[in-house]
Protein backbone atom coordinates (compact mmCIF):
# COMPACT_ATOMS: atom_id res chain seq x y z
CA UNK A 1 0.00 0.00 0.00
CA UNK A 2 1.17 3.55 -0.62
CA UNK A 3 2.20 5.29 2.58
CA UNK A 4 3.30 8.89 2.60
CA UNK A 5 4.72 10.12 5.88
CA UNK A 6 6.19 8.80 9.10
CA UNK A 7 5.77 10.48 12.47
CA UNK A 8 6.80 14.16 12.36
CA UNK A 9 9.07 16.02 14.74
CA UNK A 10 7.34 18.34 17.18
CA UNK A 11 9.17 21.67 17.09
CA UNK A 12 6.38 23.76 18.63
CA UNK A 13 8.40 24.37 21.81
CA UNK A 14 11.51 25.94 20.30
CA UNK A 15 13.53 28.01 22.72
CA UNK A 16 13.00 31.77 22.30
CA UNK A 17 16.72 32.52 22.70
CA UNK A 18 19.09 30.34 20.68
CA UNK A 19 22.07 28.90 22.51
CA UNK A 20 25.49 30.41 22.03
CA UNK A 21 27.65 28.52 19.58
CA UNK A 22 30.37 26.28 20.98
CA UNK A 23 33.94 26.04 19.80
CA UNK A 24 36.34 23.18 20.51
CA UNK A 25 39.78 24.47 19.66
CA UNK A 26 39.46 25.92 16.17
CA UNK A 27 36.25 24.03 15.41
CA UNK A 28 32.93 25.81 15.78
CA UNK A 29 30.02 23.40 16.16
CA UNK A 30 27.12 24.01 13.76
CA UNK A 31 24.63 23.52 16.61
CA UNK A 32 24.46 22.45 20.25
CA UNK A 33 23.18 18.87 19.98
CA UNK A 34 25.82 16.13 19.90
CA UNK A 35 25.62 12.42 19.21
CA UNK A 36 26.94 10.43 22.18
CA UNK A 37 29.67 7.80 21.82
CA UNK A 38 28.04 4.37 22.14
CA UNK A 39 30.15 1.22 21.92
CA UNK A 40 28.97 -1.08 19.17
CA UNK A 41 26.59 1.57 17.85
CA UNK A 42 28.21 4.87 16.83
CA UNK A 43 30.49 3.31 14.25
CA UNK A 44 31.59 5.19 11.16
CA UNK A 45 28.40 4.28 9.28
CA UNK A 46 26.04 5.59 11.96
CA UNK A 47 28.11 8.72 12.59
CA UNK A 48 28.24 9.53 8.87
CA UNK A 49 24.45 9.38 8.64
CA UNK A 50 23.87 11.39 11.84
CA UNK A 51 26.32 14.04 10.63
CA UNK A 52 24.54 14.28 7.30
CA UNK A 53 21.24 14.83 9.10
CA UNK A 54 22.70 17.79 10.97
CA UNK A 55 24.18 16.58 14.27
CA UNK A 56 26.35 19.27 15.83
CA UNK A 57 29.10 16.75 16.58
CA UNK A 58 29.51 12.98 16.49
CA UNK A 59 31.90 10.95 18.64
CA UNK A 60 33.53 7.62 17.89
CA UNK A 61 32.86 4.46 19.83
CA UNK A 62 35.03 4.14 22.91
CA UNK A 63 38.51 3.00 21.87
CA UNK A 64 40.65 1.10 24.37
CA UNK A 65 44.00 2.88 24.19
CA UNK A 66 46.16 -0.13 25.09
CA UNK A 67 44.42 -2.37 22.56
CA UNK A 68 44.73 0.32 19.88
CA UNK A 69 48.44 0.66 20.59
CA UNK A 70 48.85 -3.11 20.33
CA UNK A 71 47.22 -3.21 16.90
CA UNK A 72 43.76 -4.56 17.79
CA UNK A 73 41.85 -4.58 14.49
CA UNK A 74 38.47 -3.54 15.91
CA UNK A 75 39.99 -0.59 17.78
CA UNK A 76 41.68 0.52 14.55
CA UNK A 77 38.36 0.24 12.71
CA UNK A 78 36.79 2.59 15.26
CA UNK A 79 39.15 5.32 14.07
CA UNK A 80 37.17 5.50 10.82
CA UNK A 81 36.44 9.15 10.02
CA UNK A 82 32.84 10.14 9.21
CA UNK A 83 31.92 12.67 6.58
CA UNK A 84 31.07 16.35 7.12
CA UNK A 85 32.19 16.94 10.72
CA UNK A 86 35.45 17.13 12.68
CA UNK A 87 36.56 13.68 13.75
CA UNK A 88 36.23 13.30 17.56
CA UNK A 89 37.86 10.11 18.80
CA UNK A 90 37.10 8.85 22.32
CA UNK A 91 39.86 7.03 24.20
CA UNK A 92 39.61 4.97 27.38
CA UNK A 93 42.31 3.45 29.54
CA UNK A 94 43.91 3.26 32.95
CA UNK A 95 47.58 3.84 32.15
CA UNK A 96 49.10 7.16 31.16
CA UNK A 97 51.54 5.67 28.65
CA UNK A 98 48.80 3.89 26.71
CA UNK A 99 46.48 6.92 26.76
CA UNK A 100 49.29 9.10 25.47
CA UNK A 101 50.23 6.63 22.75
CA UNK A 102 46.57 6.17 21.82
CA UNK A 103 46.23 9.94 21.41
CA UNK A 104 49.29 10.03 19.15
CA UNK A 105 47.93 7.20 17.00
CA UNK A 106 44.52 8.86 16.78
CA UNK A 107 46.09 12.15 15.68
CA UNK A 108 48.21 10.39 13.06
CA UNK A 109 45.09 8.61 11.81
CA UNK A 110 43.24 11.86 11.16
CA UNK A 111 41.46 12.66 14.42
CA UNK A 112 40.64 16.33 14.95
CA UNK A 113 39.60 16.15 18.63
CA UNK A 114 40.39 13.64 21.39
CA UNK A 115 37.74 12.81 24.01
CA UNK A 116 38.69 11.05 27.25
CA UNK A 117 36.21 8.48 28.60
CA UNK A 118 35.65 8.69 32.34
CA UNK A 119 31.96 7.83 32.17
CA UNK A 120 31.57 4.22 31.03
CA UNK A 121 29.95 2.26 33.89
CA UNK A 122 30.42 -1.30 32.60
CA UNK A 123 32.16 -3.71 34.97
CA UNK A 124 34.49 -4.86 32.21
CA UNK A 125 35.82 -1.30 31.97
CA UNK A 126 35.65 -0.19 35.60
CA UNK A 127 37.27 -3.37 36.94
CA UNK A 128 40.43 -2.19 35.23
CA UNK A 129 40.18 1.29 36.73
CA UNK A 130 39.14 2.89 33.46
CA UNK A 131 35.93 4.67 32.55
CA UNK A 132 33.92 5.96 35.50
CA UNK A 133 36.13 4.07 37.98
CA UNK A 134 38.64 6.89 37.52
CA UNK A 135 36.28 9.16 39.44
CA UNK A 136 37.21 7.18 42.56
CA UNK A 137 40.86 8.10 42.07
CA UNK A 138 40.91 11.72 40.88
CA UNK A 139 44.70 11.98 41.07
CA UNK A 140 44.97 9.04 38.67
CA UNK A 141 42.32 10.61 36.44
CA UNK A 142 44.29 13.86 36.33
CA UNK A 143 47.45 11.94 35.46
CA UNK A 144 45.72 10.42 32.42
CA UNK A 145 44.25 13.77 31.38
CA UNK A 146 47.66 15.43 31.50
CA UNK A 147 49.24 12.53 29.62
CA UNK A 148 46.82 12.93 26.74
CA UNK A 149 47.18 16.72 26.72
CA UNK A 150 50.95 16.34 26.62
CA UNK A 151 50.91 13.79 23.80
CA UNK A 152 48.85 15.66 21.20
CA UNK A 153 48.42 19.11 19.74
CA UNK A 154 44.72 18.42 19.21
CA UNK A 155 42.02 19.88 21.46
CA UNK A 156 41.05 17.42 24.20
CA UNK A 157 37.62 17.02 25.83
CA UNK A 158 36.35 14.93 28.73
CA UNK A 159 33.22 12.84 29.35
CA UNK A 160 32.31 11.65 32.84
CA UNK A 161 29.48 11.05 35.30
CA UNK A 162 28.34 12.89 38.42
CA UNK A 163 30.62 10.69 40.51
CA UNK A 164 31.08 7.10 41.59
CA UNK A 165 28.05 7.13 43.91
CA UNK A 166 25.95 9.62 45.87
CA UNK A 167 28.63 9.79 48.56
CA UNK A 168 31.22 10.83 45.96
CA UNK A 169 29.68 13.46 43.69
CA UNK A 170 33.06 14.88 42.74
CA UNK A 171 32.46 15.87 39.11
CA UNK A 172 32.90 19.61 39.89
CA UNK A 173 36.33 19.07 41.47
CA UNK A 174 37.53 16.84 38.64
CA UNK A 175 36.15 19.30 36.08
CA UNK A 176 38.04 22.23 37.61
CA UNK A 177 41.34 20.36 37.57
CA UNK A 178 40.73 19.16 34.01
CA UNK A 179 39.82 22.62 32.73
CA UNK A 180 42.85 24.15 34.43
CA UNK A 181 45.02 21.56 32.69
CA UNK A 182 43.64 22.47 29.27
CA UNK A 183 40.48 20.41 28.65
CA UNK A 184 38.28 22.35 26.19
CA UNK A 185 34.81 20.88 26.83
CA UNK A 186 33.27 18.61 29.48
CA UNK A 187 30.26 16.31 29.08
CA UNK A 188 28.45 15.09 32.19
CA UNK A 189 26.07 12.13 32.22
CA UNK A 190 23.55 12.93 34.94
CA UNK A 191 23.96 9.67 36.83
CA UNK A 192 26.59 8.18 39.09
CA UNK A 193 28.43 5.04 38.08
CA UNK A 194 26.50 3.01 40.66
CA UNK A 195 23.23 4.02 39.01
CA UNK A 196 24.37 2.57 35.66
CA UNK A 197 21.30 3.50 33.57
CA UNK A 198 18.69 3.07 36.33
CA UNK A 199 16.37 5.75 37.68
CA UNK A 200 16.36 9.09 35.89
CA UNK A 201 19.31 11.28 34.98
CA UNK A 202 19.56 14.11 37.52
CA UNK A 203 20.29 17.06 35.28
CA UNK A 204 20.17 19.55 38.15
CA UNK A 205 23.30 17.93 39.61
CA UNK A 206 25.21 18.96 36.47
CA UNK A 207 24.72 22.62 37.41
CA UNK A 208 27.56 22.67 40.00
CA UNK A 209 29.95 21.64 37.23
CA UNK A 210 28.66 24.41 34.96
CA UNK A 211 29.18 26.92 37.76
CA UNK A 212 32.67 25.65 38.55
CA UNK A 213 34.33 25.91 35.14
CA UNK A 214 34.65 28.37 32.27
CA UNK A 215 34.67 25.76 29.49
CA UNK A 216 31.42 24.59 27.83
CA UNK A 217 29.57 21.82 29.67
CA UNK A 218 27.32 19.34 27.84
CA UNK A 219 24.38 17.61 29.55
CA UNK A 220 23.86 13.92 28.80
CA UNK A 221 21.48 11.19 29.96
CA UNK A 222 17.80 10.51 29.15
CA UNK A 223 17.68 13.20 26.46
CA UNK A 224 15.50 11.67 23.78
CA UNK A 225 13.70 14.60 22.12
CA UNK A 226 13.40 18.38 22.09
CA UNK A 227 11.33 18.50 25.28
CA UNK A 228 13.86 16.54 27.34
CA UNK A 229 16.70 18.53 25.76
CA UNK A 230 15.12 21.77 26.91
CA UNK A 231 14.47 20.43 30.41
CA UNK A 232 18.05 19.22 30.70
CA UNK A 233 19.37 22.62 29.64
CA UNK A 234 17.06 24.47 32.00
CA UNK A 235 17.93 22.32 35.00
CA UNK A 236 21.67 22.08 34.34
CA UNK A 237 22.51 25.43 32.80
CA UNK A 238 24.63 23.48 30.30
CA UNK A 239 25.71 24.88 26.96
CA UNK A 240 24.62 21.87 24.91
CA UNK A 241 23.07 18.42 25.04
CA UNK A 242 24.32 14.99 24.03
CA UNK A 243 21.87 12.39 22.75
CA UNK A 244 22.62 8.67 22.83
CA UNK A 245 19.97 5.97 22.97
CA UNK A 246 17.28 8.38 21.76
CA UNK A 247 18.96 8.43 18.35
CA UNK A 248 18.86 4.66 17.87
CA UNK A 249 16.65 4.05 14.86
CA UNK A 250 16.35 7.84 14.44
CA UNK A 251 19.72 9.16 13.29
CA UNK A 252 18.01 12.34 12.11
CA UNK A 253 16.89 13.24 15.66
CA UNK A 254 20.11 14.88 16.87
CA UNK A 255 20.13 17.31 13.95
CA UNK A 256 16.46 18.14 14.50
CA UNK A 257 17.05 18.93 18.17
CA UNK A 258 20.11 21.00 17.29
CA UNK A 259 18.18 23.06 14.75
CA UNK A 260 15.30 23.61 17.16
CA UNK A 261 17.63 24.74 19.95
CA UNK A 262 19.15 27.25 17.52
CA UNK A 263 15.70 28.52 16.49
CA UNK A 264 16.43 27.43 12.95
CA UNK A 265 14.03 25.62 10.60
CA UNK A 266 13.81 22.02 11.79
CA UNK A 267 14.49 19.45 9.08
CA UNK A 268 11.47 17.27 8.38
CA UNK A 269 11.44 13.73 9.67
CA UNK A 270 12.17 11.44 6.70
CA UNK A 271 9.01 10.11 5.11
CA UNK A 272 8.28 6.44 4.61
CA UNK A 273 10.18 5.99 1.35
CA UNK A 274 13.07 8.09 2.60
CA UNK A 275 13.38 5.86 5.68
CA UNK A 276 13.31 2.80 3.43
CA UNK A 277 16.15 4.23 1.35
CA UNK A 278 18.04 5.21 4.50
CA UNK A 279 17.78 1.71 5.98
CA UNK A 280 19.10 0.21 2.75
CA UNK A 281 21.94 2.74 2.61
CA UNK A 282 22.86 2.20 6.26
CA UNK A 283 22.96 -1.54 5.70
CA UNK A 284 25.27 -1.18 2.68
CA UNK A 285 27.58 1.18 4.59
CA UNK A 286 27.89 -1.43 7.32
CA UNK A 287 28.74 -4.12 4.79
CA UNK A 288 31.54 -1.88 3.53
CA UNK A 289 32.78 -1.09 7.03
CA UNK A 290 32.68 -4.61 8.53
CA UNK A 291 32.56 -6.98 5.58
CA UNK A 292 29.57 -9.19 4.95
CA UNK A 293 30.31 -11.91 7.52
CA UNK A 294 30.47 -9.59 10.53
CA UNK A 295 28.40 -6.81 8.99
CA UNK A 296 25.20 -8.85 8.69
CA UNK A 297 25.32 -9.52 12.42
CA UNK A 298 26.30 -5.99 13.46
CA UNK A 299 23.53 -4.51 11.31
CA UNK A 300 20.74 -6.40 13.09
CA UNK A 301 20.46 -4.05 16.06
CA UNK A 302 20.19 -1.03 13.78
CA UNK A 303 17.61 -2.72 11.60
CA UNK A 304 15.65 -3.65 14.70
CA UNK A 305 15.67 -0.05 15.92
CA UNK A 306 14.52 1.21 12.52
CA UNK A 307 11.61 -1.22 12.64
CA UNK A 308 10.76 -0.02 16.16
CA UNK A 309 10.65 3.53 14.84
CA UNK A 310 8.49 2.41 11.94
CA UNK A 311 6.16 0.62 14.37
CA UNK A 312 5.38 3.94 16.07
CA UNK A 313 3.26 4.79 13.05
CA UNK A 314 2.75 1.55 11.17
CA UNK A 315 1.97 -2.10 11.83
CA UNK A 316 5.11 -4.05 10.91
CA UNK A 317 4.75 -7.66 9.79
CA UNK A 318 6.32 -9.65 12.62
CA UNK A 319 7.25 -12.62 10.48
CA UNK A 320 9.13 -10.50 7.97
CA UNK A 321 10.77 -8.46 10.73
CA UNK A 322 12.12 -11.65 12.28
CA UNK A 323 13.26 -12.88 8.89
CA UNK A 324 15.34 -9.73 8.37
CA UNK A 325 16.87 -9.93 11.83
CA UNK A 326 17.80 -13.61 11.61
CA UNK A 327 18.94 -13.84 7.98
CA UNK A 328 22.54 -15.09 7.80
CA UNK A 329 23.17 -14.50 4.12
CA UNK A 330 24.08 -10.82 3.72
CA UNK A 331 22.93 -10.60 0.11
CA UNK A 332 19.38 -11.61 1.03
CA UNK A 333 18.81 -8.85 3.59
CA UNK A 334 18.09 -5.93 1.18
CA UNK A 335 15.29 -7.92 -0.46
CA UNK A 336 13.80 -8.83 2.94
CA UNK A 337 13.99 -5.17 4.02
CA UNK A 338 11.99 -4.16 0.96
CA UNK A 339 9.44 -6.92 1.55
CA UNK A 340 9.01 -5.76 5.13
CA UNK A 341 8.45 -2.15 4.07
CA UNK A 342 6.05 -3.26 1.32
CA UNK A 343 3.94 -5.17 3.83
CA UNK A 344 3.39 -2.51 6.52
CA UNK A 345 0.00 -0.97 7.20
CA UNK A 346 -0.76 2.37 8.79
CA UNK A 347 -1.61 2.02 12.47
CA UNK A 348 -5.18 2.91 13.32
CA UNK A 349 -5.67 6.21 15.18
pLDDT band (50, 70, 90) for residue 136: confident
pLDDT band (50, 70, 90) for residue 124: low
All residues at 6 or more sequence positions from 318 whose CB lies less than 8 Å from its CB, including other chains: none
Instruction: Give the start-to-end residue ranges of the domains of the chain.
Output: 23-261, 272-346
Query: Among this protein's residues, is 120 annotated catalytic?
Result: yes
What are the Cα distances from residue 176, in Å, to 5, 120, 164, 173?
Answer: 48, 20, 17, 5
User: What would the pLDDT profile of 189-211 be if each residue is shown by its tens digit?
Assistant: 999 877 756 778 999 999 999 99
Which one from 11, 94, 120, 298 is the annotated catalytic residue?
A: 120
CA 146 – CA 338 distance, rounded (Å): 51
User: What would the pLDDT profile of 218-271 be if each residue is shown by its tens digit?
Assistant: 999 999 999 999 999 999 999 999 999 999 999 999 999 999 999 999 999 999
pLDDT band (50, 70, 90) for residue 134: confident
Hey, which CATH number is domain 23-261, 3.50.50.60, 3.40.50.300, 3.30.450.40, 3.20.20.70?
3.20.20.70
Amino acid sequence: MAIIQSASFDCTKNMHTPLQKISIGNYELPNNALLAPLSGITDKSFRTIAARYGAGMVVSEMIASAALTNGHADMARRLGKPDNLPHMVQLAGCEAKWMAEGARIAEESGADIIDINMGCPSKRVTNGYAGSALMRVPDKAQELIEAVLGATSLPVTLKMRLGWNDELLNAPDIAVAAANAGIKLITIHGRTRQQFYKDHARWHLIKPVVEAVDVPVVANGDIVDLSTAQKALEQSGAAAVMIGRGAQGKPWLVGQVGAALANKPVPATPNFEEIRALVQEHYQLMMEEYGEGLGVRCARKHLGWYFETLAETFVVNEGLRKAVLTEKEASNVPRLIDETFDSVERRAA
